Amino acid sequence: MKKIALALGMLSVTVLANAADPLNGTVWKTIDDQTNQPKAMVKFTEQKNGTLSASIQSVLTPGEENACTKCEGPYKNKSLKGVTIVHNLKNTGGTSYDGGSIMDPKTGKTYKLKGELADGGKKLNLRGYIGISALGRNQTWIRAN
C-alpha cells in the first residue's frame, strides 16, 4: 500500500511539473492605456524553454492593420497580424510574471515587462518599463477565451 501511495504521489508531482502555464493558449483583448480603446487580439504561446510569447492575432483598430512601420527586423513595414510583441515572459509563481519584454508596434520600442493575472484570470495587468519599474506604464488586457 505504501508503494502505491508513493508511486501516485510521484506521478502527481510529475504531472504538475509538466502542466502548461495558465497563460498558454489564452487570447486577450489589448486595451490602449491612453485611449482606453481595444487595439488587438493577442495569443500567448508557451515556448520550449518554458517562457511565454504573445503574437497579434487580429487588429481591432480600423486602418492600423499595416501600421508596423517602426518595427525592427522581419516585421518592418509588414501587417501587424502575426507580429510577436511579447517575448521571454516567465511565470515567477502563481499568477505573477516577470523577465519578459514587450514591443510597442506604434513606436517600435521594446520595454521590459512584468505582469499579474487578476480578477480570477479575467484580466492581465501588465507593466512595461525601461530600467526600473517606476519608469513605465500600465495596461490591463481583458481575457477573450
- With a cut of 90, say whether residue 4 has pLDDT above it: no
pTM beyond 0.75, yes or no: yes
pLDDT of residue 68: 80
Q: Say how many residues make up the chain.
A: 145
| 109-143 per-position pLDDT tens digit | 899 999 999 999 999 999 999 988 888 899 999 99
- From its phi and psi, is residue 108 left (phi > 0), alpha (psi between -120 and 50) or beta? left
Q: How many Å apart are CA 143 and CA 121, to the nearest integer? A: 8
Q: Mean pLDDT, the chain, as a whole number? A: 85
Domain boundaries along the sequence of the chain:
21-143
Mind spelling out the 3-state secondary structure of the chain?
A: CHHHHHHHHHHHHHHHHCCCCCCCCCEEEEECCCCCCEEEEEEEEECCCCCEEEEEEEECCCCCCCCCCCCCHHHCCCCCCCCEEEEEEEEEECCEEEEEEEEECCCCEEEEEEEEEEHHHCEEEEEEECCCCCCEEEEEEEECC
Segment 6-24 shows an average pLDDT of: 55
For residues 75 and 56, the answer to whether their CB atoms sit within 8 Å is: no
Residue 37 phi, psi dihedral angles, 5° rounding: -105, 150
Segment 89-106 shows an average pLDDT of: 94
| CATH number at 21-143 | 2.40.128.520
| 32-41 per-position pLDDT tens digit | 888 889 999 9
The confidence band for 67, taking pLDDT boundaries of 50, 70 and 90, is low
More confident residue, 54 or 136: 54
- With a cut of 80, say whether residue 16 has pLDDT above it: no
